[in-house]
Amino acid sequence: MGWPEWWWRHKKPAATQVTGQFATYFSKLQKLSQDSSLWVDGAEPPSQQALTLAQAFMQQLEKDHFPPTGVVASGEGGAGIYFIDGNKYADLECLNSGAILGVISNRRDRPTAYEVEQDAGGLAHASLRIREWMTRS
């Protein structure tokens, strides 16, 4: 179960006072809302809802002490947070539609895609799934 629609209309990504390892990622999320040079050509710019979900996921990652490789605008319209370690790849895309999609891949076989619930539990589970994938031997 996700957050109610009225919540998205009133929720704005909070200005962060984050320092240290995650400051760069939170800053990039804020820049995605304003800097059109960061948007994917032909795709919608990230919506407030997508950026708020991405920020919530980044907060979960910070809590889990698991920094991503980077933050980008999604080619599907939204924001993406990705992880790369050798042939292992994972990402989480918070789309303008409100959907949250995850992908894990070993870059050889067909990637595994999955949907993530739009709530704190769903984001925590996605973080765990990505951490387990990226740290698996």
pLDDT at 109 over 90: yes
Q: What is the pLDDT of residues 18-50, one digit of tens each?
A: 558 899 999 999 999 999 999 999 999 999 999
Nearest to 72 by CA among 88, 87, 49, 92: 92
How far from 124 is each of 41, 56, 101, 109, CA to CA, in Å? 31, 10, 14, 26
Q: What is the pLDDT of residues 111-124, one digit of tens each?
A: 999 999 999 999 99
Going from N- to C-terminal start, the domains of the chain cover: 5-135
